[in-house]
């Protein structure tokens, strides 16, 4: 415990309730003569805003500016944020005192005026624990630095563990990684399959035999660190969002199952029942299809889940002269089915970007092409001309890095 104490992030003494209670996440700016649209329309105000909330926001803004733009002077930050140099100096002093920001010495390049002192987020000050529970056979973990770089990896064989035993495995995995950290830990981020509510309770994850497992509370209690838990696909899209900077984004994660993560207007979509993105069991098309484990016929998963796809591909006789085209046909059909399901979503949300995550050898070819073609044929070209469908650049680590983004965002307001 004392060892963990030393590794704690700032302000994380206990996983206490939010200091501002039900305080607010938005400011409306009403009463202007002309319409105001920063992103959406003016919004219903949902709680009071005190000066200290503004301070919190501005501090996060400074951190965000440094985080994305890198080392620069206080004056640079002032210009970029619109706050004054005085205010920035004050905020930066706080951040330095907390160990989040460091001075790097004078700027080298020669220009008139007093030379600037460069400051930056101390990217070596904290590490983050990322956990990916979405694979079928094993749980993955990583120690991740503030830049999203993976410092070290760990994994445990799931060996079919479910229920309480699976929870113990997660705890064991995290404990091992905490022992290997070389700095204080900012927090723990977990991407879990299934439906996860905003408090980090896994409402339902059939593969793991979990029903109403309070994973966030369990881990927070065990390690006395900030913990964030969310659905694996919803976590994955955070990683992609950090990379793409686009504010509307759909990520389809194809693995043992098929799930999606959505960001709209820069905000993750959770869903009324916390089940946003669960498109694996939406029926595709009007021509039936193979029977799914859920009882329906023609669910997206029966066309697209990796086990189903590989089984179908393995059934091809590799000696056959048509083997290559048979393979393409199977992948083409899978891609078409994905396009059919995505078309209404892309149309309704007028999405600019759809990202695929999963085995590139399956997705990044005939399947990808068929999905694009189907989307183009089934939506209004005029509105969705700019739509891009691409493979993720994050490969296997997308959930781990997304988990880090979740912690960064939750603890520092940075991503």
Partner DNA sequence: TCATGTTTGTTAGTAAAGCTTACGAACAAA
Partner DNA sequence: TTTGTTCGTAAGCTTTACTAACAAACATGA
Among 4, 58, 89, 181, binds a copy of itself (CB under 8 A): 58
Q: Which of DNA, a copy of itself, none lies near 4, with the C-beta cut-off 5 to 8 A by kind?
A: none
What residues numbered 205-234 form the site for a copy of itself, per CB under 8 A?
216, 220, 226-228, 230
Per CB under 7 A, 413 contacts DNA: no
Token readout for 267 is 């905000």
Backbone angles phi, psi at 56, to 5 degrees: -55, -45
What residues numbered 148-207 form the site for a copy of itself, per CB under 8 A?
195, 198-200, 204
Pick the closer one to a copy of itself by CB: 33 or 112.
Answer: 33
Q: Which stretch binds a copy of itself (CB under 8 A): 42-50, 158-166, 168-176, 395-403?
A: 42-50
Pick the closer one to DNA by CB: 91 or 237.
Answer: 91
Backbone angles phi, psi at 162, to 5 degrees: -135, 175
The residue ranges of DSSP E strands in 265-350, in sequence order, are 267-268
Q: Which of a copy of itself, DNA, none lies near 167, with the C-beta cut-off 5 to 8 A by kind?
A: none
Among 4, 10, 99, 313, binds a copy of itself (CB under 8 A): 10
Per CB under 7 A, 104 contacts DNA: no
Beta bridge partners of 262: 250
Pick the closer one to a copy of itself by CB: 81 or 162.
Answer: 81
Beta bridge partners of 391: 356
What residues numbered 117-156 form the site for DNA, per CB under 7 A?
117
Pick the closer one to DNA by CB: 88 or 227.
Answer: 88
Q: Which of a copy of itself, DNA, none lies near 108, with the C-beta cut-off 5 to 8 A by kind?
A: none
Q: How far is the CB of 60 from DNA (least distance, A)?
A: 10
Backbone angles phi, psi at 16, to 5 degrees: -85, 165
Backbone angles phi, psi at 21, to 5 degrees: 55, -135
Q: Which stretch binds DNA (CB under 7 A): 20-28, 31-39, 105-113, 400-408?
A: 105-113
Whole-angstrom distance, CA of residue 399 vs CA of residue 236: 5
Instruction: Name the nearest CA neighbour of 129 among 364, 403, 333, 384.
Output: 403
| Cβ atoms of residues 362 and 309 within 8 Å | yes
| C-alpha dihedral, 285 to 286 to 287 to 288, nearest 10° | 80
Distances (CA, A) of 159 to 139, 154, 155, 211: 10, 16, 12, 19
Instruction: Name the nearest CA neighbour of 248 among 61, 79, 388.
Output: 388
| Cβ atoms of residues 389 and 351 within 8 Å | no
Beta bridge partners of 103: 119
Alpha helices in 70-162, H assignment, sequence order: 74-81, 85-97
Pick the closer one to DNA by CB: 83 or 169.
Answer: 83
Q: How far is the CB of 30 from DNA (least distance, A)?
A: 13
Number of residues that bind a copy of itself (CB under 8 A): 126
Whole-angstrom distance, CA of residue 378 vs CA of residue 239: 29
Among 32, 110, 315, 348, binds DNA (CB under 7 A): 110
Q: Are strands 210-213 and 227-231 parallel, antiparallel or unpaired?
A: unpaired
> Which DSSP state fits 141?
E
Per CB under 8 A, 6 contacts a copy of itself: no
Per CB under 8 A, 42 contacts a copy of itself: yes
Q: How far is the CB of 78 from DNA (least distance, A)?
A: 8
Instruction: Name the nearest CA neighbour of 223 among 166, 168, 156, 175.
Output: 175
Per CB under 8 A, 70 contacts a copy of itself: no
Q: Which of a copy of itself, DNA, none lies near 11, with the C-beta cut-off 5 to 8 A by kind?
A: a copy of itself
Among 10, 99, 115, 410, binds DNA (CB under 7 A): 115
Whole-angstrom distance, CA of residue 157 vs CA of residue 68: 36
What residues numbered 78-97 form the site for DNA, per CB under 7 A?
82-87, 89-93
- Give residues with Cβ within 8 angstroms of 397, minimum separation 6: 142, 150, 239
Pick the closer one to a copy of itself by CB: 45 or 163.
Answer: 45
Site string for a copy of itself, 262-291 (x = CB under 8 A): x-xxxxxxxxxxxxxxxxxxxxxxxx----
Q: Which of DNA, a copy of itself, none lies near 377, with the C-beta cut-off 5 to 8 A by kind?
A: a copy of itself
Residues forming the site for DNA (CB under 7 A): 48-52, 54-55, 58, 73-76, 82-87, 89-93, 106, 110-117
């Amino acid at each position: 415990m004392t060892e963990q104490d030393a590794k704690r992030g700032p302000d994380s003494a206990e996983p206490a309730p939010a200091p501002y209670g039900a305080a607010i996440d938005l400011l409306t700016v009403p009463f202007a003569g002309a319409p105001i649209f920063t992103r959406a329309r003016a919004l219903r105000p949902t709680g009071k805003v005190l000066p200290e909330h503004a301070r919190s926001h501005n501090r996060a803004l400074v951190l965000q500016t440094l985080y994305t733009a890198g080392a620069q002077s206080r004056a640079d930050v002032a210009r970029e944020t619109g706050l004054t140099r005085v205010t920035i100096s004050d905020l930066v002093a706080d951040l330095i005192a907390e160990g989040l920001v460091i001075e790097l010495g004078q700027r080298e390049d020669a220009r008139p005026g007093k030379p600037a002192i460069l400051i930056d987020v101390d990217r070596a000050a904290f590490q983050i624990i990322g956990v990916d529970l979405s694979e079928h056979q094993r749980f993955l973990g990583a120690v991740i630095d503030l830049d999203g770089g993976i410092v070290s990896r760990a994994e445990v064989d799931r060996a079919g563990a479910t229920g309480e035993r699976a929870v113990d495995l997660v705890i064991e995995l995290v404990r091992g990684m905490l022992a290997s950290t070389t700095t204080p830990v900012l927090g723990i981020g977990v991407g879990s399959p299934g439906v996860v509510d905003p408090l980090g309770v896994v409402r339902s994850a059939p593969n793991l035999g979990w029903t109403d497992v309070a994973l966030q509370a369990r881990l927070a209690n065990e390690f006395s660190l900030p913990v964030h838990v969310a659905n694996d696909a919803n976590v994955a899209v955070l990683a992609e969002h950090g990379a793409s900077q686009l504010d509307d984004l759909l990520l389809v994660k194809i693995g043992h199952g098929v799930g999606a993560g959505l960001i709209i207007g820069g905000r993750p979509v959770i869903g009324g029942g916390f089940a946003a993105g669960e498109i694996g069991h939406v029926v595709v098309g009007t021509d039936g299809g193979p029977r799914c484990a859920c009882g329906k016929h023609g669910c997206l998963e029966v066309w697209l889940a990796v086990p189903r796809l590989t089984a179908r591909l393995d059934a091809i006789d590799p000696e056959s002269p048509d083997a290559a085209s048979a393979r393409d046909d199977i992948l083409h059909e899978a891609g078409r089915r994905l396009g059919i399901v995505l078309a209404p979503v892309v149309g309704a949300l007028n999405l600019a970007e759809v990202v695929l995550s999963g085995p590139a050898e399956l997705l990044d070819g005939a399947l990808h092409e068929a999905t694009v073609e189907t989307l183009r044929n089934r939506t209004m070209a005029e509105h969705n001309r700019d739509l891009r469908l691409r493979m993720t650049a994050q490969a296997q680590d997308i959930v781990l890095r997304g988990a880090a983004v979740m912690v960064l965002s939750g603890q520092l307001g940075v991503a």
